[in-house]
Amino acid sequence: MGFLRQPLFLVSLTRQDRLGKGVFMNYSELLQYQGYIYLNSIFEPEDNTLIVDIDCCKINGISAGQNDTSSSYGSIKVDDTLPIIRLKFDWYIAYSVRNESFTAMDEYEIYEGRGFSLYSKSRYLDFIEVGTIAEDMYIGPFKHYGINALNHIIDVVSSEPPTISEIQRNGQQE
């Protein structure tokens, strides 16, 4: 079952009103975001540094959290009135990008969040432990950050949380 097939829970109007005003300044706050997100871009500006730019979406022209009912679900589009959320991992152990259509729910995994998630147990963490030399003793504890966007699932394992900033649509970064 892909991400789109999960029930839709939308962000509250008060939190949505604060988006664009620097509300999401740490990853734990992003875990509370309940709207849909879309991958804008992903790139490495330098070796082993990762930037993920995320767009917030609206449904049928209604921004997430505004008069949403089950009858309002339909086409989901980028909300160009909201800033781009930029996650920057200054250093990572590994990351992967999957096609959301081929992603299955797995009861083995334990995580919090929806669009942005943090895993305490995952198959990806298992893979990192078996397939790399990364160890808690060597680099310190590391975590699995999930970005569950429409069409893309991004998994990042890092010992440091990402820095979060907003990029206004006119190109200014806050």
Q: Which residues form the domain of 58?
A: 3-161
Residue 122 in any domain: the answer is: yes
Q: Rounded to whole angstroms, how far apart are CA atoms 155 and 167?
A: 22
Give the residue with greater pLDDT, 72 vs 113: 113
For 105, other C-beta atoms within 10 Å of its C-beta total 11
Residue 33 in any domain: the answer is: yes
CA angle, residues 72, 76, 80, in degrees to nearest 5: 115
- pLDDT recorded at residue 73: 55
Domain count, the chain: 1
Residue 130 in any domain: the answer is: yes
* pLDDT of residue 11 exceeding 80: no
Residue 34 in any domain: the answer is: yes
Q: Rounded to whole angstroms, how far apart are CA atoms 33 and 11?
A: 6
Beta bridge partners of 173: 167
Among 4-8, 60-64, 100-104, the range scoring the smallest mean pLDDT is 4-8
Residue 168 in any domain: the answer is: no
pLDDT digits (tens, 9 = 90+) for 14-69: 344 555 554 457 899 999 998 899 999 999 999 999 999 999 998 775 555 554 44
- Averaged confidence pLDDT in the chain: 81
